Amino acid sequence: DAKTTQPPSMDCAEGRAANLPCNHSTISGNEYVYWYRQIHSQGPQYIIHGLKNNETNEMASLIITEDRKSSTLILPHATLRDTAVYYCIVSLGNFNKFYFGSGTKLNVKP
Partner 1 sequence: DAGVTQSPTHLIKTRGQQVTLRCSPKSGHDTVSWYQQALGQGPQFIFQYYEEEERQRGNFPDRFSGHQFPNYSSELNVNALLLGDSALYLCASSLRYGTGELFFGEGSRLTVL
Question: Would you count residue 43 as binding partner 1 (CB under 8 A)?
Answer: yes
Minimum Å gap between C-beta 62 and partner 1 is: 13
CB atoms within 10 A of CB 70: 18
* Residue 53 interacts with partner 1 (CB under 8 A): yes or no: no
Q: Is-contact 54 62, C-beta < 8 A?
A: yes
State the maximum Cα–Cα separation within the chain, in Å, rounded to a whole number: 41
CB of 13 to partner 1, least distance (A): 26
Binding residues among 4-33 for partner 1 as defined by CB under 8 A: 32
CA 34 to chain centroid: 6
- The upper half-sphere exposure of residue 90, i.e. CA atoms within 13 Å in the direction of its Cβ, equals 23
For residue 53, the one-letter residue type is N
Q: Among 20, 27, 60, 87, which residue interacts with partner 1 (rule: CB under 8 A)? A: 87
Judged by CB under 8 A, the stretch of 13-21, 58-66, 71-79, 86-94 that binds partner 1 is 86-94
Residue among 43 and 110 whose Cβ is closer to partner 1: 43
